A and B are shown apart, each in its own frame.
Chain A
Amino acid sequence: MVKTLGERSHPYIPNSQPEIKQEMMREIGIKTINELYADIPEKYLLNKPLNLPKALSEFEIKRHIETLLSKNETCSHMPIFLGAGCWPHYVPAVVKEIMQRSELLTSYTPYQPEISQGMLQALFEYQSMICELTAMDVANCSMYDWASALGEAARMAARVTRKNEVLVPQIIHPERTKTLQVYAEPAGIKVVHVAYQKETGLINIEDLKKKISQKTAAVYIENPSYLGFVETQVEEIGEIAHDNKALFIVGVDPTSLGVLKPPGDYGADIVVGEAQPLGNAMNFGGPLLGIFACRDEIGLIRQMPGRIIGLTTTVEGNRHGFCMVLQTREQHIRREKATSNICSNEALCAVASAVYMALLGPEGFRELGETIMLKANYAMKLLSKIEGVKTPVFNSPHFKEFTVNFDGTGLSVKEVHKRLLQRHIHGGKEVSKDFPELGETALYCVTEIHSKEEIERLASALKEVLAKR
């Protein structure tokens, strides 16, 4: 016989107190709780305890988890020059405080708008500020991350255009491509890669023109690109897409949008991206926050995935309020005909981003973009002076990430990384495997949190480890 909690009631389970249980069982007219499980075939009822650790007190849990986590090294222990889809940025104290407001944190999806105005308004403000940053008209209240947002965008483009090919740049995050493939394949969508110009990394326009056809549902580009450079032929690419009746999808890192031209200003029909840098910690890669926005065109809006919050009035018409809209697109109403199966998303992360965007304001975004870009370019400048190091690989403007090639040093990226780590510096992400044509190359990232001293420390450490080959 399996033991029960016995005489001890659990703090999270108020009615586990034995007398209350008895009282409730009496009301129902049963003698043991097992009577409530009597309809389950005997053979499925567990007759031995599960192999789980024994229950701990709150203090023991805290000690256990803190001890385990203390084995992790963080960007406050050592400078970390990693980006590639999840970036180290500062999260202001106000953002963290709001995230812990219990009424927001512990609420469900705002199905009852009258009692959920706070969440609804915050999400509407998130959508609205994302629209301002990207210069788009409509944004949904979040997707899981950039990669899944891209997958959904490809599917949406195929529904809107009734075509089944999407063109994507050769230079794209490998995990994003993999995700896109997985989302696209069951919908019968073919993903075609467009070559890049060897010198600049930019889209090879000739190859784009060659590959685009009557079958093309969308042309996708990223800005800044996965390898950090800015795609500058945006207007031309957008025109080529539109001339072929394909949608133009642009993926963005929103921290660049205070200084770089927003995709809405160069003809994007759909914008996706990653809003983790706007007020959300890295957390070993999750939760992230997928951006999804489009133009104000009913044919597009009706095909959008995900939840959208709208501004409306009370029935009496005397006050503004907020509620979920266009739910007829969604799974709980449309079932297999829904635009997507997504329901739970990253709402609280979207609230964090709303707080972040409000804190920064128009000036703050300009400053953020400027600081990042100057620091990253400073790092490139210092590193490129080191013998045998080539950075950036591409002759194009770079925003916060850049490629560093070690071919001239005789050392592999792995070896350089190992030696840097011994000096308590975490170098960039190796990209040689995903882009073998680039040789021994790593992708480095510098943001507003990297100080001049840290950048200089990286440069001198690199010089040191490369000298010892």
Chain B
Amino acid sequence: MFKQANWNEPIIFNLGRSGRKGHLLPKAEEEIRRAVGELDALIPKHMRREHKPNLPELSEVEVYRHFLRLSEMNYGVDSGFYPLGSCTMKYNPKINEQLANLPTINMVHPYQDASTVQGILEILYRLERMLAEITGTHEVCLQPSAGAHGEFLGTLLMRAYHKKNGEIQQRREIIVPDSAHGTNPASAAMAGFNVVVVPSDSEGCVDLEALKTVVSERTAGLMLTNPNTLGIFEKNIEEIAKIIHEAGGLLYYDGANLNPLLGKVRPGDMGFDIVHMNIHKTFSTPHGGGGPGAGPVGVSKDLARFLPVPRIVFDGNSYRLDYDRPESIGKIRCFYGNVAVLLKAYAYILSLGFEGLKEVAEVSVLNANYLMKKLMEIKGLTLPFNSGKPRKHECVFSAKPLKNETGVSALNIAKRLLDYGLHAPTIYFPLIVEEALMIEPTETFEKEEIDRFVEAMRKICEEAYANPEKTLKAPHNTAILKLDEVKASHPRTMSLSWRMYLKKKV
């Protein structure tokens, strides 16, 4: 049975002893001290730090051990099955980590003379071309730091486009399906748009009739995930694109679910004008417990002029950064993007080529449908929006029958899965499925691991009918038992830093 490490590791502020040192820094040489004088003479008195920061004092040994123990109380995709729906938790190739840790990338400054950074510029330029080819877009901007950052750029591009056409005052609305990721409406709102929600039909796809009624001269665009968050391909995409484009709107592709389409279908060919990609999902870079990722955006020819500066250009001999783009929206962050992450994606694409990418897509779909078939046999779970169509990369089950019959909810199932040394799926999303379990196996888990997950699900559901107590109290085998998340967010007890905790002592 799985049992996670449980170190009961103290907070770092309670470790170490006064006077211990964790790292020796280079010091200013004696001659420098003599020439410059005392530090205090350089800083006016009222600008000096009076009290040293209250940081812990640990030796290097203790620091390393502390964080090593913390890592042992964590679970990554290298630990085992990680079927978080819409998150595409696939294996992160080790060679890519090694390459991204070379000094020839780590120790390069973004403002270096172009003649001294030709290697990295070439890699980024080639990556842009590859991603444009994969998504069927005209130009790609690598700058967004994450998927949501890409979405923000995408909605800003919509804004720039309609402004250019003199229609921004009128085109105030961005349409999103009710199955959309939360980032879609949030990104639309950040760029100053109002959000209009379009419902799904009985098959789980955008309701075309409903779409026609909400589209108008106020429409700035539609943000669509395809395959959608139910794992279903929006088969009416041609009609949807036509409706939006005829109304003068732009079509935005949320790339969270691009994985099953690699080398099979290109968003650009389906009529999407703006496409974001999640490098940390589809292109295998590690998610790092919440980042850094990267969220490049591909656009059609008409929109390329609005992309952030600089653009990487190649004159046949050398690469350089071009800031001379008068219609650019400006900047969404400093410099050129999460370069160390992008380098890994470049290596990933090279490791697969076209045929390999297609294989990624096909096996991710095969795995999802295999998993779905197996789970459909389990009592207590249902597959909503089941019209007999295959899913793509993920499938969404409902634990509603189980909840009604035993009291065991999707949340309880998720917690109990942890006891088996498996990560839980995404739960309670999409919002249109009650007691949702959104499961994405990706292409990088072997059949045996998928079978182990199915077996665990079967046992958990059986246990729910026989003796729900154990499942209701799960997890049991993790580093810590169920946490009081209400207390964590309550204004009276909320402790968001160590100093805040010391004030409140929850």
Contacts and interface: CB of A to CB of B under 8 A. Distances in A.
B26 A148 contact: no
B347 A61 contact: yes
B488 interface: yes
Contacts of A58: 95, 351
Interface string B3-14: 010001101110
Given A69-B104, A107-B74, A371 B27 contact: yes
Interface string A45-76: 11001111111101001101110111111111
Interface in B321-347: 329-341, 343, 346-347
A110 B50 CA distance: 37
Interface string B176-190: 000001110111111
What 3 A-B pairs are tightest by C-beta distance, nearest first?
A: A285-B335, A285-B110, A348-B288
Interface in B88-138: 89-93, 95, 97-113, 115-120, 122-123, 130, 133-134
A16 to B, nearest CB: 5
B71 interface: yes
A220 interface: no
A114 B480 contact: yes
A312 interface: yes
A44 B270 CA distance: 7
A439 interface: no
B383 interface: no
A364 B25 contact: yes
A41 B53 contact: no
Interface string B480-506: 111111011101011111111101001
Contacts, number: 725
A52 to B, nearest CB: 5
Given A103-B78, A109-B289, A286-B339, 13 more contacts: A13-B359, A20-B446, A52-B354, A94-B60, A128-B498, A176-B334, A287-B145, A287-B341, A301-B496, A343-B148, A344-B291, A359-B58, A362-B57
Contacts of B106: 74, 91, 281-283
Interface string A134-168: 01011101101111100000000000000000000
22 contacts: A10-B359, A12-B360, A36-B362, A66-B102, A71-B118, A72-B120, A86-B109, A91-B106, A101-B67, A102-B78, A108-B87, A119-B70, A129-B12, A132-B499, A142-B290, A142-B291, A232-B47, A311-B11, A314-B482, A325-B494, A364-B21, A397-B44
Nearest to A141: B290
A28 interface: yes
A218 B222 CA distance: 34
B444 A14 contact: yes
Contact of A234 (B47, B98, B118): B47
Contacts of B292: 286-287, 344-349
Interface in B261-275: 263-266, 269-270
Given A70-B119, A144-B145, A257 B49 contact: yes
Given A40-B233, A46-B265, A119 B289 contact: yes
Interface string B50-69: 10111111101001101111
B92 A397 contact: no
A308 B263 CA distance: 38
Nearest to B348: A12
A244 interface: no
Nearest to B104: A69
A342 interface: yes
Interface string A352-371: 00110111111111111011
A43 B42 CA distance: 70
Nearest to A50: B354
A395 interface: no
A12 B93 contact: yes
Interface string B130-171: 100110000000000111110110001001000000000000
A103 B359 contact: no
B47 A397 contact: yes
Given A44-B269, A112-B423, A145-B333, A55 B350 contact: yes
Nearest to A318: B481
Interface stretch (B30-38, B208-216, B400-408, B460-468): B30-38
Contact of B103 (A76, A286, A313): A76
A12 B284 CA distance: 10
Contact of B71 (A98, A175, A182, A308): A98
Interface string B439-468: 000011111000000000000000000000
Contacts of B343: 65
Given A182-B156, A186-B159, A14 B445 contact: yes
Contact of A286 (B68, B335, B497, B501): B335
B118 A72 contact: yes
Most buried by B among A121, A139, A371: A121
Interface residues of B, number: 208
A429 B112 CA distance: 8
Given A114-B482, A342-B146, A364-B25, A106 B92 contact: yes
B55 A84 contact: no
B331 A230 contact: no
Interface in B385-441: 389-390, 392, 414-415, 418, 423-424, 426, 429
B217 interface: no
Contact of B108 (A128, A284, A354): A284
Interface stretch (A205-213, A259-267, A404-412, A461-469): A259-267
Nearest to A374: B28
A452 B29 contact: yes
A261 B50 CA distance: 7
B95 A36 contact: no
Nearest to A447: B26
Contacts of A74: 103-104, 106-108
Contact of B289 (A20, A104, A178, A331): A104
A2 B358 contact: yes
B313 interface: no
Contacts of A88: 107, 109
Contact of A179 (B98, B108, B264, B330): B330
A62 B350 CA distance: 10
A301 B355 CA distance: 49
Contacts of A272: none
B238 A41 contact: yes
A323 B488 contact: yes
B84 A108 contact: yes
Contacts of B370: 24, 27-28
A148 B190 contact: no
B123 A68 contact: yes
B64 A94 contact: yes
Nearest to B70: A118
B112 A80 contact: yes
A330 B108 CA distance: 35
B11 A112 contact: no
Given A44-B270, A313-B506, A15 B496 contact: no
A190 B267 CA distance: 36
A73 B82 contact: no
A345 B112 CA distance: 26
A179 B149 CA distance: 12
B243 interface: no
Contacts of A375: 28, 32
A61 to B, nearest CB: 5
B341 to A, nearest CB: 6
A437 interface: no
Interface string B229-242: 00001010110000
Contacts of A357: 55
B440 to A, nearest CB: 11
B349 interface: yes
A107 B77 contact: yes
Contacts of B103: 74, 76
A13 B475 contact: no
B182 to A, nearest CB: 4
B286 interface: yes
Nearest to B343: A65
A246 interface: no
